[in-house]
Structure 1
Amino acid sequence: MSTLEVRWHGRGGQGIVTANEILAGAALYEGKFMKAFPEFGPERMGAPIRAFARVSDEPIKVHSQVYFPDYVAVLDPTLIGNINVLEGLKETGSLIVNNTASVSELKKTLDTDMDVHVVDASKIALETIGKPLANTAMLGALVKISGIVGLDSIIAEMQIKLGGKLPAPVVEKNVLSVKRAYEEVQ
């Protein structure tokens, strides 16, 4: 693997930073090099935010934001049409969106023939966690599409990261969310 770069889009309070940190921890768990960091605009609940990650088998010497991602994950479908989620996405890259639309509908909306994937991460989160927090479900979808790290590594890191602040049953619900999105992403 060369360096793979990820850009997340969401809103403050949706857990993108946590998902990005879990991705980074899973990369470390696998002995890879990583950089993960958020970019905040106005720091308030609901404001659009982005987060970035780089994962590599070699030391990473680039310290800037990700301009040309291999993968873009969009947690909040209301951002589609309001911001250019395809900006800089490599031609060989993939867009993964939390959305109820079909892949063909989303491609039409975005006017693209790039590689697009959808998963109803909000529904999965509601059914597994009991809240529409789609961050862990989107992490499962991203891992399935990208192969950037293994699913087992994500689960192990999630149990460590979330286990320190959430009760065990809630952590297990998040693990179910990841696994379902991994299976259901189109």
Structure 2
Amino acid sequence: MPEKYFEIRWHGRAGQGAKSASQFLTEAAEESGKYSTSFPEYGAERTGAPMKAFNRIADVPIRLRSDIENPDVVCVIDDTLLKNPEITSGLSEDKLLLVNTTRSIEEVRKLTKFKGKIGVVPATEIALEEIGRPIPNTTMIGALIRATDVVPMDAVKQKIRAAFARKFSESVVQANIRALERGYQEVKFSE
């Protein structure tokens, strides 16, 4: 019987941080004792072009190296992509669609026609308020942890400290931790 991996597919546009979020999540998962892989898939390699990134996280070694066709969670970093049917492709109704948006859950449902669980978080707005830049990845990871608990929050905070303290001031580190926590606290889910 094949091993079950927790699989996440990220959708965004090149330059918005989907690849970085995926890689960051994998590193935090590994540092918390799990196995994890992360890889991107680009169409036209230019800033603004739609792209995907993928995570597999497990308690056992991961041997599968293909794209993720039936994810447990789809994370959408750019809500202008919601009308694209590829967003919910392979996402069963007992799984989660998590979207960075100021739109309501009902609007997301109408745009995507997805009948399963939907989570929405204004990640870009939170990032602007906390970090001062429209980089929603850290906030999206916080929302993802709230929805799935796939990686411990403390592991992600430690990863933020370790990764950012080398390049940025303590105020930038703290701003990213606040964005992470706000994503966790402010995500809203459908019933």
RMSD over equivalenced CA pairs, Å: 1.5
Match of 2:64 in 1: 62
Per the alignment, residue 102 of structure 1 pairs with 104
Greater Cα offset, 116-125 or 14-23: 14-23
1:85 is paired with a residue whose SS is: helix
Specify which of 164, 167, 172 is matched with residue 165 of structure 1: 167
- Once residues 56 and 183 of structure 1 are traced to their aligned partners in structure 2, the CA distance between those partners, rounded to angstroms, is 25
Question: After the TM superposition, which parts of structure 1 deviate over 4 Å for at least 4 consecutive aligned residues?
Answer: none
Report the Cα distance in structure 2 between the residues aligned to 1:7 and 1:163, rounded to whole angstroms. 28
Equivalent-residue separation in structure 2 for 1:141 and 1:113 (angstroms): 20
Change (3 A) 1:73 1:64: same
Query: Following the alignment from structure 1 to structure 2, what is the Cα–Cα distance between the partners of residues 168 and 83?
Result: 41
Q: Indicate the residue corresponding to 1:149 in structure 2.
A: 151
User: Would the alpha carbon gap of residues 164 and 18 (structure 1) be closer, same or farther in structure 2, given more than 3 Å must change?
Assistant: farther
Q: Deviation per CA, 1:60-81: give whole Å up to 9, x if none.
A: 1101111110001000111111
CA drift of 1:161 comes to 2.3
- 1:21 is aligned to 23
TM-score with structure 2 length normalisation? 0.92
Partner of 2:184: 182
Q: Look up the match of 2:37.
A: 35
Q: Which of 115, 118, 121 pairs up with 1:116?
A: 118
Query: What per-residue deviation string (whole Å, max 9, x for no partner) do you get for residues 96-132 of structure 1?
Result: 0011111122112222221111001111011101111
The aligned residue for residue 6 of structure 1 is 8
| Structure 1, unaligned runs of 5 or more | none
**How do 1:122-133 residues align onto structure 2 when only pairs under 5 Å count?**
122-133=124-135
8 Å CA contact 2:93, 2:114 repeated in 1 = no
Q: What's the TM-score once normalised by structure 1's chain length?
A: 0.94
Moved more, 43-52 or 153-162: 153-162
Give SS of 1:148's match: coil
> Which segments of 5 or more consecutive residues in structure 2 lack a partner in the other structure?
none
Residues in 1 aligned to 2:38 and 2:145: alpha-carbon distance in whole angstroms? 16
Whether the aligned pair in 1 keeps the contact of 2:93 and 2:115 (CA below 8 Å) is no
